[in-house]
Structure 1
């Protein structure tokens, strides 16, 4: 149970009226008093032995109780911090922040559309030529202001990409902007542009990267690092579901959505 989880607990306690302190993630006297009052108020759901538990264990039990009251599957109210409690606490935090539980990501499958006829990675040499030669490039304007991820004071005018993908990229950026709007896109970190064309091989591999053909784009790399999975990557969160759907409807592929790594990366090539 870390400070984030304690803040989730404090928000529950504050909403129930038993806590009037700061939402600071610290289990101080006010939090302990509110936990005690809440456990006593729901004694029918809490083991009688809870009165003798440590303060930390009672706080965990209170957070488990909060999840139970929100009909989140949390397991027994035993004050023990395990994977089920950790996940339930994350669900509760999402409800507190958005008013609804997170989307059931394990049930979702990326779209397998391909309206533009993107070829598979293995066919890129034949279809687009050698990656050692710079491809025919077009700069696609972006409807919202971009910042270079490694230099936030620099604002590129658009995204330089292979001419083959320019029309599709234009449609996607327009639809993304219409859905989220520039302010929300900035809040989500989607103004942090990590580049498109880059003549290099795959990081951690020997094959040529799809960036070498100018058909892949990285977004917000600092918060979606190469080896991060959905437990850490920002772009794996539910608020980005529409973002990914708009790309997938044009046939672009997210490595995060399909392989659960390199969540920054989206490409106009099938795997």
Structure 2
């Protein structure tokens, strides 16, 4: 249970007129009092002995009840933070933020749009030139404050990319900013910029990376590592559905969404 989950809990309690403090993700006295009041109201839905649970476990139970109220499958009300509860709370957070539950990702394939006519990876050297030569670059300003993922005190003003993808990237960044806002983007870790242009081959492979043409961007690499799949990567969570939709509508490809690895990576090149 992290601060994001506690903020979700605080919003639920506030919506039910039990909490009037800050939505700060801190499980302080006001939050605890609101949790206890809420659980007392729903005592008939709790197992025997719940009154002896720790404050943390009671807070989780309150979140589980909140999910039940919104008809989100959460499992038993046991106050334990397992995978089902974590997923259900993510769905609840998305519902609070957007007014609707995220689309079931296992029922939908990523969009296969290509409105900008991006080349396939195998065509890049023939169409855009050798990856050993630096491509024509443009710096696209970012409408929210970025920080280098490996040095958060360094804040680039924009993203340097191949000139052919600059207009598309600018549209995506503007739409993401309009949808989420700067505070939510930071909460989601989407200010943690992992780089675009990098003259190198694919990690774990022999072919040139799309980074070598300035066609790919990495986001929040510390929480979306190369070999991590949907069960671990942060960018695989439901609250990022709109983020990925914005990229896919412009024809960019998420390796996480299509291959279930390297969730940090999105590219303007077809596989």
Q: TM-score, normalising length from structure 1?
A: 0.71
Question: Is this contact kept in 1: 2:211–2:217, CA < 8 A?
Answer: yes
Taking the TM superposition and a 5 Å limit, the aligned residue runs for 1:183-262 are 184-262=184-262
Partners of 2:158 and 2:36 in 1: CA distance: 55
Partners of 1:83 and 1:183 in 2: CA distance: 27
Partners of 2:196 and 2:140 in 1: CA distance: 13
Aligned partner of residue 189 in structure 1, secondary structure: coil
Q: Which structure has the bigger radius of gyration?
A: 1
Alpha-carbon shift at residue 251 of structure 1 (Å): 1.1
- Which of 48, 52, 71 is residue 51 of structure 1 equivalent to? 48
RMSD over aligned Cα atoms:
4.1
Alpha-carbon shift at residue 210 of structure 1 (Å): 0.9
Alpha-carbon shift at residue 246 of structure 1 (Å): 2.4
Choose 3-12 or 193-202, whichever is displaced more. 3-12
Q: TM-score, normalising length from structure 2?
A: 0.71
Partners of 2:217 and 2:66 in 1: CA distance: 41
Alpha-carbon shift at residue 142 of structure 1 (Å): 0.9
Change in 2 beyond 3 A, CA 1:14/1:226: same
Alpha-carbon shift at residue 204 of structure 1 (Å): 2.3
Taking the TM superposition and a 5 Å limit, the aligned residue runs for 1:52-201 are 55-56=52-53, 59=58, 64-75=64-75, 84-92=84-92, 94-95=94-95, 100-131=100-131, 133-144=132-143, 145-182=145-182, 184-201=184-201
Alpha-carbon shift at residue 100 of structure 1 (Å): 4.6
Change in 2 beyond 3 A, CA 1:137/1:231: same
Choose 12-21 or 175-184, whichever is displaced more. 12-21
Question: Is this contact kept in 2: 1:5–1:89, CA < 8 A?
Answer: no
Partners of 1:18 and 1:206 in 2: CA distance: 58
Question: Is this contact kept in 2: 1:13–1:34, CA < 8 A?
Answer: no
Alpha-carbon shift at residue 34 of structure 1 (Å): 5.5
The alignment of Structure 1 onto Structure 2 pairs a total of residues equal to 262
Aligned partner of residue 198 in structure 1, secondary structure: coil
Aligned partner of residue 161 in structure 1, secondary structure: strand
Change in 2 beyond 3 A, CA 1:262/1:130: same
Question: Is this contact kept in 2: 1:5–1:25, CA < 8 A?
Answer: no
Partners of 1:9 and 1:147 in 2: CA distance: 28
Question: Is this contact kept in 2: 1:226–1:263, CA < 8 A?
Answer: yes
Choose 208-217 or 242-251, whichever is displaced more. 242-251
Q: For residues 173-220 of structure 1, what are the alpha-carbon distances to aligned partners after superposition, in whole Å with 9 as ceiling and x for unaligned?
A: 344444445555445433332211111121222322111122111122
Partners of 2:80 and 2:39 in 1: CA distance: 17
1:37 and 2:40 are equivalent in the alignment: yes
Partners of 1:179 and 1:170 in 2: CA distance: 14
Give structure 1 stretches of 5+ with no counterpart.
Answer: none
Change in 2 beyond 3 A, CA 1:93/1:155: closer
Question: Is this contact kept in 2: 1:135–1:162, CA < 8 A?
Answer: no
